[in-house]
Structures are given as structure tokens and as C-alpha cells.
């Protein structure tokens, strides 16, 4: 159940306004990738706070563990080894997980009323009790984030600790990060912190340092400071200019209400055709012809 203190800005598969009279502060989590040492404390804190445990996996020859997001691992560290002429080998580590898009593709795609909600503070949260397990959210998400659990066939992803935030706490990952790489607060404040840090990074020779707050999805409530903001793809294929796919917009846009009207028009049109033109009955003429034929047959 959504917490009442967090007002709702959008609700999946709902055509009327969700409850939302209060004005809440827009929040954001800022992940400063340049300060991350890849210790995975955040991954541990996430599992602990949310009380989910993943299967023990196998070593795939990288530090990525588990190898991908799962229904039980809502955040994973992505380790990318990048070689360039100017800088030699760089180890870029990105904490992956839900970006809490301002314009969430998952919510747009979801067919089940209230299975995904976006709070007024910007957090996008799945309400598993309303989830039907169709996986449309996976199809809709530009960041490949939601996962369906094998156990209960419900969709799971990072909640941005909506339960903690609702009572004035910061997300568990923020709380635990030993290098101060993750900050949490109002989106405005997080942008200010990022701006200062970017200036610092530029002074240190990272000319392309910048904030990742992609406008294609209306901005996100999880943002990154990147040393190479011009090439987000270096960080384990972080999309350069993510947006809800035009296919998803077509699928979930005005076409469906229009198609619905079209179907109604065909049904009502048929009814009116019947009452205006009348049924197509066999004519008396044909009936008589057939009678005559049968009589002749009888005589033979």
C-alpha cells in the first residue's frame, strides 16, 4: 500500500486523477560515480533493508555480482574497464538500478490499475499486490530495470526506499556508502552539489565531466555525476539520450482510445444499418421460383 504521507502524481492504467492534494518536495539521489570505490556496501544495505536475498551465483570473471539486476537484487555495481590513449586504463564503476524517471516508461506501459505509482516527490514504486506479472513494464523501461520474480511472478525494482523516505530517512544505500558517493535530498540541492563537483572534476582534468539527468525522460530522480558525461555508454552502456521508445508511445498513446471508438462505431453502425436498411431476407420471387422447381421435380 502506498504511504498516505507520500502523495501520488501518477498511477498506472488509471484515467482519472490519483489522490494528490499535497505539494511535496521533489527528491533525488545523486550518485557521484567518480567517488565510487566499488565496495558494494550499497548492494548489501539494499538487500538488508528490503529483506531480499539473491541466489549465490557463479564467478563470471568480473566483479559484477550478481551479474545482472534480478527480482532480489535491485541495485548492482557495474564494472567497466575502459582503455583510451589519453588516460590509459580506467575502471569505471556505476551503481545500476531504477532511475526513477520523471516520465516513467514502466508506468506508461503497465496495464494493471495501480500496479505502478509515481509519488509527487518523484519516486516510482511498484505495488506488487496489484501486479499481474505481464512484464509490460520491462517492455516500457528505457533502462532495462524491472524484473519479474520466478517465485511470485510479480515485478520488482528499486523503491528508492520509499518507506524510509516517507518517514524522513534517507535510502539505505545512501546511509551506508563509506565514501560519501551517494547523496540524497531535494532535487534542487542534488543538482547544486553536482554542479560544484563537476567544477572540481573539470579543474582536475576531466574536461567532459557532467551531470547525468537525461531530459528525454523528463529528468530522473536518480542522477549520476560522470567523469565522461559526453560518453555515458562507457559506463556499462548507460544510454546517451534515453527516452520512452516511440513504439511504446504508439502502443500506449491515443491510438487505443481511437481504436476503441472505431470498434464502437462498427458495432453501432451495424445496429443502425439493420434498423435503417432492414434485414436481408430471401425475396418472395426467389421463394416462388424454388417452389416451382420443386413442384416440377415432383411431377417428373
Partner 1 sequence: MKRDPNDLQRYTASERANHWVVGISFILIALSGLALFHPAFWPLSMLFGGGVWTRILHPFLGVLMAVSFAAMAVRFWKLNVMTPTDWEWLKRAKEMVNGDDHNMPIMGKYNGGQKMLFWALVVCMALLFVSGILIWRAYFSGFFPVGVVRLGAVVHAAVAAVMIALIFVHVYAAIWVKGTIRAMWYGTVTRPWAKQHHRAWYKEMTGK
> Using CB under 6 A as the criterion, which residues of the chain lie in contact with ligand HEM when the complex forms?
111, 134
Work out what residue 161 binds among ligand SF4, ligand HEM, partner 1, none; the CB cut-off runs from 5 to 8 Å by kind.
none
**Could you say whether residue 236 binds partner 1 (CB under 8 A)?**
no
Work out what residue 126 binds among ligand HEM, ligand SF4, partner 1, none; the CB cut-off runs from 5 to 8 Å by kind.
ligand SF4
**Could you say whether residue 99 binds ligand SF4 (CB under 6 A)?**
yes
Q: What are phi and psi of 5, to 5 degrees?
A: -70, -15
Candidate segments 184-192, 221-229, 232-240, 252-260, binder of partner 1 by CB under 8 A: 252-260
Give the nearest distance from C-beta 151 to ligand HEM in angstroms.
18
From candidates 27, 120, 126, 193, binder to ligand SF4 by CB under 6 A: 126
User: Do residues 92 and 235 make contact, with C-beta atoms less than 8 angstroms apart?
Assistant: yes
**Could you say whether residue 134 binds ligand SF4 (CB under 6 A)?**
yes
User: Do residues 13 and 110 make contact, with C-beta atoms less than 8 angstroms apart?
Assistant: yes
**Of residues 75, 97, 71, 54, the one with CA closest to residue 149:** 71
Find how far residue 175's CA is from the centre of its chain.
24
Strand-pairing partners, residue 77, are 95
* Residue 215 zone, left/alpha/beta (φ > 0; ψ -120 to 50; rest): alpha
Give the residue with the Cβ less far from partner 1, 277 or 299: 277
Cell numbers linked to 93: 564503476
Residues in CB range of 51: below 8 A, 6 or more apart: none
Give the nearest distance from C-beta 111 to ligand HEM in angstroms.
5
Window 272 to 291, contacts with partner 1 (CB under 8 A): 273-274, 277-283, 286-287, 289-290
Candidate segments 35-43, 64-72, 143-151, 190-198, binder of ligand SF4 by CB under 6 A: 143-151
**Could you say whether residue 95 binds ligand SF4 (CB under 6 A)?**
no
Cell numbers linked to 49: 533493508
**Could you say whether residue 112 binds ligand SF4 (CB under 6 A)?**
yes
Q: Report the run of H or E that residue 256 belongs to, with start and end.
A: helix 255-277
Candidate segments 185-193, 210-218, 233-241, 256-264, binder of partner 1 by CB under 8 A: 256-264
Q: Is omega for the bond preceding 66 within 30 degrees of 0, making it cis?
A: yes
Burial of 116 (0-12, 13-18, 19+ CB in 10 A): buried
Give the residue with the Cβ less far from ligand SF4, 210 or 242: 242
Query: Residue written as cell 505509482?
Result: 117
From candidates 136, 184, 212, 224, binder to partner 1 by CB under 8 A: 136
Residues in CB range of 148: below 8 A, 6 or more apart: 71, 133, 135, 138, 154, 155, 156
- Residues of this chain that interact with partner 1 (CB under 8 A) are 13-15, 109, 111-113, 130, 132-136, 138-139, 144, 148, 153, 245, 247-248, 250-251, 255-257, 259-260, 262-263, 266-267, 270, 273-274, 277-283, 286-287, 289-290, 293-294
Amino acid at each position: 500500500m502506498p504511504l498516505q504521507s507520500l502523495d501520488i502524481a501518477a498511477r498506472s492504467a488509471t484515467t482519472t486523477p490519483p489522490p494528490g492534494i499535497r505539494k511535496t518536495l521533489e527528491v533525488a539521489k545523486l550518485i557521484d560515480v567518480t567517488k565510487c570505490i566499488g565496495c558494494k556496501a550499497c548492494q548489501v544495505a539494499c538487500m538488508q533493508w528490503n529483506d531480499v536475498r539473491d541466489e549465490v551465483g557463479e564467478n563470471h570473471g568480473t566483479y559484477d555480482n550478481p551479474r545482472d539486476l534480478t527480482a532480489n537484487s535491485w541495485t548492482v555495481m557495474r564494472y567497466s574497464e575502459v582503455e583510451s590513449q589519453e588516460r590509459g586504463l580506467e575502471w569505471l564503476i556505476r551503481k545500476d538500478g531504477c532511475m526513477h524517471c520523471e516520465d516513467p516508461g514502466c508506468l506508461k506501459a503497465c496495464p494493471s490499475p495501480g500496479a505502478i505509482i509515481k509519488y509527487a516527490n518523484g519516486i516510482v514504486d511498484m505495488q506488487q499486490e496489484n501486479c499481474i506479472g505481464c512484464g509490460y513494464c520491462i517492455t516500457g523501461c528505457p533502462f532495462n530495470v524491472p524484473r519479474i520474480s520466478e517465485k511470485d511472478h510479480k515485478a520488482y525494482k528499486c523503491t528508492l526506499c520509499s518507506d524510509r523516505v516517507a518517514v524522513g530517512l534517507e535510502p539505505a544505500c545512501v546511509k551506508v556508502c563509506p565514501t560519501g558517493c551517494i547523496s540524497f535530498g531535494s532535487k534542487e540541492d542534488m543538482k547544486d552539489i553536482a554542479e560544484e563537483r563537476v567544477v572540481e572534476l573539470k579543474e582536475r582534468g576531466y574536461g567532459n565531466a557532467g551531470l547525468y539527468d537525461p531530459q528525454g525522460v523528463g529528468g530522473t530522480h536518480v542522477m549520476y555525476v560522470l567523469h565522461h558525461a559526453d560518453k555515458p555508454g562507457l559506463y556499462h552502456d548507460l544510454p546517451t539520450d534515453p527516452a520512452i521508445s516511440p513504439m511504446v508511445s504508439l502502443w500506449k498513446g491515443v491510438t487505443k482510445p481511437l481504436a476503441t471508438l472505431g470498434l464502437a462505431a462498427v458495432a453501432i453502425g451495424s445496429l443502425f444499418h439493420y434498423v435503417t436498411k432492414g434485414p436481408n431476407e430471401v425475396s418472395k420471387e426467389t421463394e416462388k421460383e424454388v417452389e416451382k422447381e420443386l413442384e416440377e421435380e415432383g411431377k417428373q
